[in-house]
């Protein structure tokens, strides 16, 4: 970086805790749920749980078709001052579709669609794992995709306990 560049990193990278929660089923969909937390604070799960049913209505129907396996995952990311809700589903055989929502910390704050569909480096850790799991269990087995094997594989990383 040149001395005249205005770019600055506000704090050094630190791994964040990434944990898999239980499998969630809704309207024919089977979804892995992940949580990511900025610091050692526990995830404020009720903030995500209250909006989960509404968010899941955005998934296409029917869940399973000839080109859509009816599986995906959610990332509940409690960041630095913001909550992020990332909804992902596999479609068109090999494409990962997504919707991203944000909410500031604090009482009375509301969820809204993110202004862009970007991912931070911690979300990308989950995405990389999920891509590899989908390739291994689904795309590499075209005559007998192992959706249950895919759903049983989870990333748990950087626990701070």
**Residue 113 included in any domain:** yes
DSSP annotation of 151: H
**Residue 11 included in any domain:** no
Could you tell me where the DSSP H helices lie in the chain?
Answer: 45-49, 52-56, 121-134, 147-152
SS (H, E, C) 39-66: CCCCCCHHHHHCCHHHHHCCCCCCCECC
Within 8 A by CB and 6+ apart from 42, the residues are none
Contacts 24+ apart (CB under 8 A), 133-137: 134/90, 134/96
Structural domain containing residue 46: 17-152
**Residue 84 included in any domain:** yes
161 residues of the chain, pLDDT tens digit each:
456 899 999 999 999 999 999 999 999 999 999 999 999 899 999 999 999 999 999 999 999 999 999 999 999 999 999 999 999 999 999 999 999 999 999 999 999 999 877 789 999 999 999 999 999 999 999 999 999 999 999 999 976 54
Q: What is the predicted pLDDT for the residue at 115?
A: 82
Q: What is the predicted pLDDT for the residue at 158?
A: 79
**Residue 80 included in any domain:** yes
**Residue 4 included in any domain:** no
Q: Total domain count for the chain? A: 1
105, 64 Cβ separation under 8 angstroms: no
Within 8 A by CB and 6+ apart from 130, the residues are 32, 73, 88, 96, 155
What is the C-alpha to C-alpha distance for residues 71 and 115, in angstroms, rounded to an integer? 26
**Residue 124 included in any domain:** yes
**Residue 114 included in any domain:** yes
**Residue 41 included in any domain:** yes
Taken in order 46, 50, 52, 53, is the CA torsion positive or negative? positive
């Amino acid at each position: 970086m040149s001395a005249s560049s205005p770019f600055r990193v506000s704090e050094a990278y630190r791994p964040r805790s990434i944990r898999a929660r239980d499998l969630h089923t809704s309207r024919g969909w089977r979804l892995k749920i992940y949580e990511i937390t900025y610091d050692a604070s526990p995830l404020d799960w009720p903030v995500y749980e209250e909006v989960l049913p509404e968010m899941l209505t955005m998934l296409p129907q029917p869940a399973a078709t000839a080109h859509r396996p009816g599986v995906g995952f959610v990332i509940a990311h409690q960041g630095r001052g913001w909550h992020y809700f990332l909804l992902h589903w596999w479609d068109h055989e090999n494409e990962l579709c997504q919707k991203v929502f944000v909410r500031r910390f604090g009482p009375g704050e509301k969820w809204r669609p993110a202004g862009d569909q970007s991912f931070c480096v911690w979300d990308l850790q989950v995405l990389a794992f999920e891509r590899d799991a989908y390739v291994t269990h689904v795309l590499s087995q075209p005559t007998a995709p192992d959706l249950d094997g895919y759903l049983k594989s989870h990333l748990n990383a950087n626990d701070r306990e």
